[in-house]
Amino acid sequence: MLELIDVGKTYGAVTALEAVDLEVKPGEIVALAGPSGAGKTTALHITTGVLPPSKGKIKLNGLDITGVPAWKRDIALVQESYALYPHFTVFDNIAFPLRSPNVGSPASEQQIADRVESIAGLVEIGHLLQNRIQHLSGGQRQRVALARALVREPKAFLLDEPIAHLDAKLRYWLQGELRRRLVATGKPCLWTTPDGREALSVADRIAVILESRVAQFGTPEEVFLNPATARVAEVVSEPPISLLSGIVESPGPQLRLDGVPIPLPLSVERGNGLTPGPVLAGIRPSSLQLGNGSHGAVTRAQVLGREFTTRETVVSVQLGGQTLRVLATPFSEYRIDDTVDVEWEGAKVYLFGVENERKLMCHTQVRSR
């Protein structure tokens, strides 16, 4: 088990990481998700010993390793910057951990070759083993760094955006394959990513880090379905969740969104009740539909743009001065400036307070009048 206990890092008056408490169980992948600069990489560097913490402890398998030098921790780290040896071949870069004098029982050269070739095949660089690093693309270098970590049998894995620079096809395939292999090792793994969809795909649990602190820590289902704040909802939503300003009115209750002429009747699904006042309404694109105005609450809106994917079309529409995203059928032929009907009947709405870091107030649903 890997534990971060009240871990913090400051540089003078600047706080890079604040009071982080995490535990990663054997065979578990915990994703640190959040935007650039949130503190994800700082947490990894403290864990691996590259940086000393300003406060807190790091424990690995029950032992306090806070003051243990990085080279004695037996933790495999994949850095976003690759950190490869340019004068080595790809083969020698991957094999380096197996030839280290710190390895307890050194392997034979044949065992090293077999292991390197197996891992290189996994990340599709088997044909590059005799190339030097300076001849590789950024995506190929990232795969070398990933292979160098996977070739080891460490006590824990730390992966800093390990597939960020790969092409989409390889990235999609490696998500599942890396998850399978890492879980099979039985070792704890921390995986950082700014991509909420990637975190949902690979992780057993997700720690959303915002402004140097953990804003929410839970299973993918918990974080996605019950986001603690509006910003957490933004991190784990793809396509992005729409956040619209509005007011809850009573009796009803009903929601009046800025730019929407009709109030939307609500029923509370889950939460601590609903009080009248200003709110931020979070609406996922999949919760709405575009139609002909024949169902329940309907508002007219103007199309701002569309984005085709293989599974759906994401249509952005304008409601007053606010932008709302709605999912439509694949390759729907909506055009900019078209007028469409947004159907709200049954739409799930997350209501966040406009103060107190916009914390989740409750889940609601638009109901029939």
What are the pLDDT digits (tens) for 137-187? 888 888 898 899 889 889 999 999 988 888 888 888 888 888 988 998 899
Is 107 a residue whose pLDDT tops 90? no
Q: For all residues of the chain together, what is the average pLDDT?
A: 89
CATH topology identical between 2-228 and 242-366: no
- For residues 312 and 238, give the distance between their C-alpha atoms in angstroms, rounded to a whole number: 12
Strands 29-33 and 63-64: unpaired
SS (H, E, C) 77-146: EECCCCCCCCCCEHHHHHHHHHHCCCCCCCCCHHHHHHHHHHHHHHCCCHHHCCCEHHHCCHHHHHHHHH
In the block, residue with structure tokens 């640190």: 32
Q: What is the mean pLDDT of residues 343-347?
A: 88
pLDDT tens track for 57-92 = 999 999 999 999 998 999 998 887 778 888 899 999
Q: Which helix (H) or strand (E) holds 26?
A: none
- The pair of structure tokens assigned to 158 is 């730390």
CATH topology of domain 2-228: Rossmann fold (3.40.50)
In Å, how far from its chain's centre is CA 87? 34
Q: What is the mean pLDDT of residues 278-291?
A: 91
**Before 239, cis peptide (omega within 30)?**
yes
Strand order in the sheet with 63-64: 14-24, 2-11, 55-60, 63-64
pLDDT bucket at 295, cuts 50 / 70 / 90: low
Q: What is the mean pLDDT of residues 119-137?
A: 90
Domain boundaries, the chain: 2-228, 242-366
The superfamily (CATH) of domain 242-366 is Nucleic acid-binding proteins (2.40.50.140)
* 47 closest CA partner among 25, 27, 76, 26: 76
